């Protein structure tokens, strides 16, 4: 199992740097991004979006909860959304 976790970290390392830049931008522009968030994630409530405040972990947690996803699947879908915006 340790080998799997290590492989996962290495696999994400290149993309994660890019995603961090995007999340820094998103966090700084969260109010402006809320329309895009609502379009993509219609099951999120306004309170969910406000509580996330552009924080990746909180946002992924809200997506996971509202869409009934695993943590990994929520992260994957959020990453996909990020790559599309």
CA distances from 6 to 9, 11, 54 (A): 5, 9, 28
Residue (of 25, 26, 22) closest to 37 by Cα position: 26
Q: Which is more confident, 76 or 23? A: 76
Q: Model's pTM, two decimal places?
A: 0.73
Alpha-carbon distance of 65 to 85, in angstroms, equals 23
pLDDT of residue 20: 56
Query: What are the b/e assignments for 39-62, b being 16+ CB within 10 Å?
Result: eebeebeeebbeebebebeebbbb
Which pLDDT tens digit goes with each residue over 2-11?
Answer: 333 333 322 3
* Domain positions in the chain: 15-84
Q: Which CATH superfamily is domain 15-84 in?
A: YjbJ (1.10.1470.10)
**Res 21: pLDDT:** 54
Task: Give the model confidence (pLDDT) of 38-78 as tens digits.
Answer: 999 999 999 999 999 999 999 999 999 999 999 999 999 99
């Amino acid at each position: 199992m340790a080998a799997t976790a290590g492989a996962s970290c290495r696999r994400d390392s290149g993309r994660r740097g890019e995603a961090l830049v995007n999340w820094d931008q998103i966090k700084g522009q969260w109010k402006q991004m809320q329309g895009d968030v609502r379009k993509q994630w219609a099951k999120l409530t306004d309170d969910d979006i406000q509580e996330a405040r552009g924080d990746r972990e909180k946002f992924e947690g809200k997506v996971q909860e509202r869409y009934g996803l695993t943590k990994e699947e929520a992260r994957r879908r959020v990453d996909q959304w990020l790559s599309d915006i």
